[in-house]
């Protein structure tokens, strides 16, 4: 499975969110998930299984990918863990430490 994070430029907040998702994956006990970050303009359905964006890009992400997860906060680890676990389960990945 692959998760990408996107922001307007693909540099700052998307990279920070990628690191937080990697931390959440570790806490959830999940291995083998690829992560990356990019700018929202580069997102396509083939980019990843799931795309995470901040709420400021929710509208811009509509229609760019079939599985977009909107985060209300890019630093709230509880929200990130919950939404990462849900995305993993949607894609058939077992989450040992929910």
Please return the burial class of 42, using the count of CB atoms within 10 Å of its CB with bins 0-12, 13-18 and 19+: exposed
| pTM of this structure | 0.94
SS3 state of residue 43: coil
Q: What is the mean pLDDT of residues 62-88?
A: 95
Q: pLDDT tens digits for 42-74?
A: 999 999 999 999 999 999 998 889 999 999 999
**Domain segments of the chain as ranges:** 2-89
Please name the CATH architecture into which domain 2-89 falls: 3-Layer(aba) Sandwich (3.40)
pLDDT of residue 14: 96
pLDDT at residue 75, as a whole number: 92
């Amino acid at each position: 499975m692959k998760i990408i994070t996107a922001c307007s430029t693909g540099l700052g907040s998307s990279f920070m969110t990628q690191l937080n998702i990697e931390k959440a994956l570790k806490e959830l006990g999940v291995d083998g998930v690829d992560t990356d970050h990019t700018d929202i303009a580069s997102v396509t359905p083939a980019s990843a299984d799931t795309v995470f964006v901040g709420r400021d890009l929710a509208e811009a992400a509509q229609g760019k990918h079939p599985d977009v997860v909107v985060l209300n906060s890019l630093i709230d680890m509880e929200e990130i863990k919950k939404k990462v676990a849900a995305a993993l389960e949607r894609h058939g990945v077992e989450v040992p430490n929910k």
